[in-house]
Structure 1
């Protein structure tokens, strides 16, 4: 994967969390935890992208009863809205 593809993946994941946050349902996102070895977290690039977004303070990741709980932070919201112009 190229640097540009990694940047695009991170922005897509952040945009997805933004859309989910402001969507009609819950304000967070749950995916199967790494112990289950299923879902998008089995892809190394996706795991690295989520880790990067978390370390930059754009998202929060919590392990909740076998599920990984993702939520966008206020800073992550600002980044998406600034990118939208």
Structure 2
């Protein structure tokens, strides 16, 4: 199955944002994947390789296992570009953030 350039960019953004959430929900522990898992979905494998080459994630390879976590640059990227970054909660209300989806797609 072939996906579009836009879909690849969206996949990379989603993987990075999910990795950020995993990292903080698990007290800084790296996400464990296996080579076999990634070979089942080549687009995900290529997306992780891209994010690693952009220095947004760190991949520690140990045999057939991979331990993946965001780098400082990856954390900064998510925090600067996440759609919720500008929400201000006051009395159960929030201010909606500006739309950065297109800027993210353009950057990645």
Same fold (TM over 0.5): yes
1:22 to 21, 24, 28: 24
Structure having the higher Rg:
2
TM-score norm. by structure 2 comes to: 0.68
Q: What whole-Å deviation, never above 9, does each CA across 1:19-59 have from its counterpart, x for those lacking one? A: 01110455210011x2xx2x244211111100000000000
Q: Give the drift of 1:9.
A: 0.2
> Where do 5+ consecutive residues of structure 2 fail to align?
86-108
Question: RMSD in angstroms over aligned alpha carbons?
Answer: 1.5
Q: Which runs of 4+ in 1 moved over 4 A?
A: none
TM-score by length of 1: 0.84
Summarize the Cα distance change of 1:41–1:79 in structure 2 as closer, same or farther, 3 Å threshold: farther
5+ long unaligned stretches in structure 1: none
Q: Say which structure, 1 or 2, has more relative contact order (CA 8 Å, 6+ apart).
A: 1
